[in-house]
Each structure stands twice: as C-alpha cells, then as structure tokens.
Amino acid sequence: MMLRRMLVLLAALSLGYLGVGLLVVLWMTGPKRRPPWTTPASVGLEYEEVEIWSTDRVRLRCWWVPAGDSARVAVLVPGWGGYKFDEHLLMTLPVYHDAGYGVLLLDLRAQGESDGSRRTLGYREVRDVRGVLAWLVQRGYRVSSVVLHGWSMGGATVLRAAPGTSVAAVIEEAGYADLPFLLRGRFSEFVPFGALLEPAILLAGRLLPDFDPWDVVPRREAKKLSHEGVPLFIIHSADDEAVPYEQGKLLAAAYPEATVWKLDGYGHVEAYEHPDYARRLLEFLDTSR
C-alpha cells in the first residue's frame, strides 16, 4: 500500500512538473497582438495595407511600400514579439527604398495585427515568409530579385525559409543559429525557477501540435545557402545580451563565405543606430547582384 501511494505521489508530481513546463511554453508562444502606433508615413513614405496568406492559410497583415516600376524587393521580418512598425524596421525601410527596392513589412503570425494562435520561435513562421514570396510572384516579381532581411527570430526565420527559393540574398541581424542551444540554461531570465523547470519546458515544447523547437537550428539552413551560393550578410553585436554573439559565430562557421559585421557597444537589434549601417548594407547589396 505504501509503495502504491508513493508511486501515485511520484506520478502526480511528475505530471505537475510537466504541467508547469507546458504553462511556460504556452506563455512563450502565446499571441502578442498590438495595433500600430506608427507607419511608413513617419519616414515620409506612402504605403498600402495588404493581406497575405501564409502557406498554411494564416492571414498576415502587411505593409507594401512600392518603388515605381523597380523589379527589386526587400522583405523585412521582425523578431519574437516584434512588429512591422518596430523602429529598427522603419528606420531600415528608407535605406532599401532609396536604393530602388519595393519593401514589404509583415507582422508574423500571432503578432501585431496578423492572425494565428501561436508564435513558434521560427518554426511555423517559415510558412509566413514563403507565403510572402508567393504573393510577390503573383504580383509579377521574380524571387531571384527578392532580398530577405530579418531581425532576431526574424533572422532565424528568413534563414530557414530561404533554401531552395533562389532569393537574391539574405540579411540576418542578431539571429540565432541554434534555438535549443540558445535557450539552454536561460529560462531563469523568463520565469522564476527557470533552471529547475528547464527539462519540463523543453519537453513540453514538443507536446504542442505542429511545433518542434528542436528543429529550429538555422545554421543548418545557412550551410545549405552556402552550397546554393545565396549571399548572406550576418550582422551581430558582441554586446548583444539577448542573443549572444556566439550564435553569430555559429552561423559564420556554417557559411564561411558569408559577409560578417561584428559590432561593439550595441544592444540587441540596435545595429541600425550605427553611422555605417546604411553604407554597409548597400555595399553588401551591390556586391550581391
């Protein structure tokens, strides 16, 4: 009888432990919606509000900033909990537009104004970017004239979405090369007793349908892009506390020919504040044609 009670208690504790891990995962992947408080008009550009469907039929709310009859397009992708109206996106928008690029800014699924029930840290978001590419093709643009530019989770997402598409180039800023490696040992930054709950959180992540955080390893896709000859620009600060520079080094190791810009003294996704940001971005684009 005592053994049975102990087994029941152990089972209850295990289920409770896993349950708490699942609650953390649900919080980390829950939607983060917010209407825009600014638009491309704030940087002097006219824009069109458009709806685009991901490849798995999630409605995405986007802004399209045309550039006359130019055939070139840049797609700007925000990070985890980010929006199409984030300052770093809106400040980068004129750099592309002044260089003759039409620009598409999107809210990823379950963020900003877009539909979707879950944020998946770069797993399902790949379908959002590929949906954007399909939309551009429908409007007469060639994928080979499209540049994908993502920040943080958006950087990981564009890396994962790019192989096999023949995009013109990929720019990733402050993105991660290996999600499980990034998260390991860092859950205490998000939740109390995170270190103790880490095994439960990682296991619970696999319990959500159509979500495998262990598969979000963009350095694998970076290696594929290297083999395909798609130009890659890696921008990462040595002082990035959210996504340590170590992650940028992993991406560079996977794609030895990539252009790498290591900054000092800038925080997460703050490279746009550097006085050489526009020049370096345009130089990369010019050499990638």
Please indicate, yes or no, whether residues 203 and 146 belong to a single structural domain of this protein: no
Show the domain range for 14. 1-30+183-215
* pLDDT at site 4: 63
- Based on the fold, state whether residues 101 and 201 are members of the same structural domain: no
Q: Is residue 193 part of a domain?
A: yes
Question: In this structure, are 187 and 245 located in the same domain?
Answer: no
pLDDT confidence bin for 176, thresholds 50/70/90: very high
Cβ contact 31:37 at 8 Å? no
In angstroms, rounded to a whole number, what is the distance separating the alpha carbons of residues 76 and 147?
9
Query: 195 falls in which pLDDT band (50, 70, 90)?
Result: low
For the chain, how long is the longest CA-to-CA vector? 80
Q: Are residues 127 and 149 located together in one domain of the fold?
A: yes
* pLDDT tens-digit series, residues 10-23: 555 455 555 555 66
CB 173 within 8 A of CB 148: no
Q: Are residues 147 and 265 in the same domain?
A: yes
pLDDT at 7 over 60: no
Q: Alpha-carbon distance 129 to 150, whole Å?
A: 10
pLDDT for the residue 198: 65
Residue 261 lies in a domain: yes
Alpha-carbon span 152 to 265, nearest angstrom: 17
Q: Is residue 268 part of a domain?
A: yes
Average pLDDT over residues 48-52: 98
Residue 10: per-residue pLDDT: 55
Residue 37 lies in a domain: no
**Is 173 part of any domain?**
yes
pLDDT at 194: 53
CB-based contact 122:129 (threshold 8 Å): no
Same domain, 47 and 171: yes
Which pLDDT score is estimated for 15? 56
Is 36 contained in some domain? no
Lowest mean pLDDT among 92-101, 200-209, 272-281: 200-209
70: domain CATH number is 3.40.50.1820
Q: How many domains does the chain have?
A: 2
Looking at the fold, whether 174 and 265 belong to one and the same domain comes out as yes
Verify that 58 and 170 share a domain, yes or no: yes
Measured in degrees and rounded to the nearest 5, phi and psi for residue 62 equal: -135, 165
Same domain for 55 and 107: yes
Domain boundary among 193, 215, 237: 215
224, part of any domain: yes
Residues 86 and 163 in one domain: yes
Is 256 a residue whose pLDDT tops 70? yes
Task: State whether 188 and 266 are in the same domain.
Answer: no
User: Is there a single domain that holds both residue 12 and residue 108?
Assistant: no
Token digits for 166? 């023949």
Tell me, yes or no, whether 250 lies in a domain: yes
